[in-house]
Chains A and B, each alone.
Chain A
Amino acid sequence: MMSSYPFKRTCKEVSALLIAREDRELPLQERVALRLHLAMCQACPRFERQVLTMRNAMKQWRQYANDPGDER
């Protein structure tokens, strides 16, 4: 199956890739598979938005932790 559909991934696999992308660069084949799946799936783009929201949240927290302003 992998040989006939080299870019086919399940939502579960895509979720793992979206998480992994936060910590490492994905190989080209995985990036393509991810993009193709996200383009035709309803649910996974939502999961992707959650991951991106978390990324943004950590960035905000980091700023707050590093430069907390006065009297916090």
Chain B
Amino acid sequence: MGWAQLGRTAANFLTLVACMTDADASPFDQQVASHRDYLLRFARLQLRNETWAEDAVSETLLAALSKPLSFANRSQLKTWLVGILKHKIIDALRHHGREVCVGSGTDDEQEDPLESIAFKADGHFGESPAEWGNPEQDLSSRQFFEILEACASKLPASQGRLFLMREWLELSSEEICKELDLTATNLYVQLHRARLRLRECLELNWFAHPRAT
């Protein structure tokens, strides 16, 4: 090892020590780790399995730590981490394949949620659907997102996974069928139920209730 190289090594070491002792600029790994809970929330919502969710988040953090990048702010870092998480989650869904839709059709033998809407015998609405209005402002409030996530997490597990694959992972129906080796008919039945249940839950918990904002 030449003197020049030794000098560089020493300089790197000093830089590292400086970073570790600089309280304001927290090291990259601490910044990454601070987003763990946030990532876990979405992993749980999408995977509906504690072990799968923990694993997906751990893999996300490891992947992030193995290629440190610098970001202008916390928000950018978070967005980057969410992007990695989505890939890890798609891997997990693919890996668990059949289990993802276990119970499709069996854990939900109850009637079609369409039956809980009061239709008359001739198929017309018994009572006209409520006017939800067009609450643009409302729909981007944090309180609304909390209700929305609570409603999504109350869906039967396989319905919730498929619904979020469409709405969070933004996969097409064809992609979902391919990834999970699912028939289109089965997928559409599950999504139909998921969407109607979500509609009902939002109506009960958000649109029908006056709320303090």
Contact = CB atoms under 8 A, between A and B. Distances in A.
A53 B139 CA distance: 9
A65 B42 contact: yes
B73 A70 contact: yes
B172 to A, nearest CB: 9
Given A46-B129, A54-B202, A71-B74, 15 more contacts: A10-B122, A11-B125, A15-B117, A23-B173, A24-B184, A47-B129, A49-B131, A50-B129, A50-B130, A54-B199, A61-B145, A61-B148, A65-B42, A68-B78, A72-B142
A27 interface: no
Interface of B: 38, 42, 73-75, 78-79, 82-83, 114, 117, 119, 122-125, 128-132, 134-136, 139-140, 142, 144-145, 148-149, 166-168, 170, 173, 184, 187-188, 191-192, 195-196, 198-199, 202-203
B38 A19 contact: no
Q: Which of A11, A49, A72 has its CB near the most chain B CB atoms (within 10 A)?
A: A11
Contacts, number: 105
Q: Which of B74, B149, B188, B195 has its CB near the most chain A CB atoms (within 10 A)?
A: B195
Name the prevailing secondary structure of the A interface residues. Answer: helix
A64 B119 CA distance: 36
